[in-house]
């Protein structure tokens, strides 16, 4: 991949990590969670939005970006329009729905910035959780955190599925690859899981 910039912008009530990748104005936004990313998009030529999963705190900022399409795994697409599934009723106390077209992301390679990144399906936290794996870092959403794995007690969650995802992830991801979780600091598998 040629030159790009990466920005981590903790946003919204749960300080969700919104991540902006800018390759000469070809901008990807992951998990828009608030208005904090807007200044990073000023010089963009195109903006595409990708979701690691469909929980409310990862989608609440979508309407602020003026996009009419988001990329999300099809198993999580229903969460955008269902406040019970996206946990906003329970977690925020206010129903959040987002009406945009959804384009399914599937396992495989996605071209960007003279190169590509890989989509890995990592169900468990939600059925449609995915990780976005680049040459020199990965964006992992709420699947895995510095001190453990994501919750599996919400609608569509499955500890069994998460165990399978973790096996695959640990087998395939280099130990020194920086991982950006949905909340908190970047980490690597070399010191995982870190005790609190
Ligand atoms: Zn989540
Ligand atoms: Zn989250």
For the purposes of burial, counting CB atoms within 10 Å of the CB of 30, is it exposed (0-12), middle (13-18) or buried (19 or more)? buried
- The arrangement of strands across the sheet holding 179-181 comes to 108-112, 115-121, 130-133, 138-141, 179-181
Q: What is the pLDDT of residue 195?
A: 83
Alpha carbon of 14 to ligand 2 centroid (Å) = 7
Q: Which ligand is nearest to the CA of 57?
A: 2
Alpha carbon of 169 to ligand 1 centroid (Å) = 18
Instruction: Return the C-alpha torsion angle 138, 116, 119, 191, nearest 10.
Output: -20
Alpha carbon of 146 to ligand 1 centroid (Å) = 15
| pLDDT over threshold 70, residue 152 | yes
pTM recorded for the entire structure: 0.97
Alpha carbon of 106 to ligand 1 centroid (Å) = 19
Q: Name the phi and psi angles at 58, rounded to 5.
A: -105, -5
- Would you give the distance in Å from CA 127 to the centre of its chain? 13
Alpha carbon of 54 to ligand 1 centroid (Å) = 7
pLDDT band at 49, cuts 50/70/90? very high
Q: Which residues surround ligand 1, an ion (CB under 5 A)?
A: 55, 142
| pLDDT over threshold 70, residue 1 | no
Alpha carbon of 59 to ligand 2 centroid (Å) = 10
Q: Name the phi and psi angles at 35, rounded to 5.
A: -80, -10
Alpha carbon of 183 to ligand 2 centroid (Å) = 6
pLDDT one-digit tens code per residue, 54-107: 999 999 999 999 999 999 999 999 999 999 999 999 999 999 999 999 999 999
Q: What is the pLDDT of residue 2?
A: 66
**What average pLDDT does range 115-121 have in this prediction?**
97
Q: Output the six-digit token pair for 44.
A: 């963009």
Q: Which ligand is nearest to the CA of 76?
A: 1
Strands (E) in 31-160, as ranges, are: 46-50, 69-72, 101-104, 108-112, 115-121, 130-133, 138-141, 144-145, 148-149
Alpha-carbon span 98 to 163, nearest angstrom: 30
Q: Which ligand is nearest to the CA of 181?
A: 2
């Amino acid at each position: 991949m040629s030159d790009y910039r990466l920005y981590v912008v903790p946003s919204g009530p749960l300080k969700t990590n919104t991540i902006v990748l800018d390759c000469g104005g070809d901008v990807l936004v992951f998990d828009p969670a608030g208005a904090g990313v807007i200044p990073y998009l000023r010089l963009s030529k195109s903006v595409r939005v990708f979701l690691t999963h469909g929980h409310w705190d990862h989608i609440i900022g979508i309407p602020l970006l003026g996009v009419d399409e988001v990329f999300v795994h099809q198993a999580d697409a229903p969460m955008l329009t269902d406040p019970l599934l996206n946990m906003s009723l329970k977690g925020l106390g206010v129903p959040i729905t987002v009406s945009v077209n959804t384009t399914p992301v599937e396992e495989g390679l996605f071209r960007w910035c003279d190169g590509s990144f890989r989509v890995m399906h990592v169900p468990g936290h939600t059925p449609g959780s995915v990780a976005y794996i680049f040459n020199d870092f990965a964006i992992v959403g709420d699947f895995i955190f510095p001190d453990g794995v994501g919750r599996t007690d919400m609608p569509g969650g499955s500890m069994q599925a998460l165990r399978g995802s973790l096996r695959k992830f640990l087998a395939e991801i280099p130990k020194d690859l920086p991982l950006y979780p949905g909340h908190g600091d970047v980490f690597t598998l070399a010191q995982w899981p870190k005790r609190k």
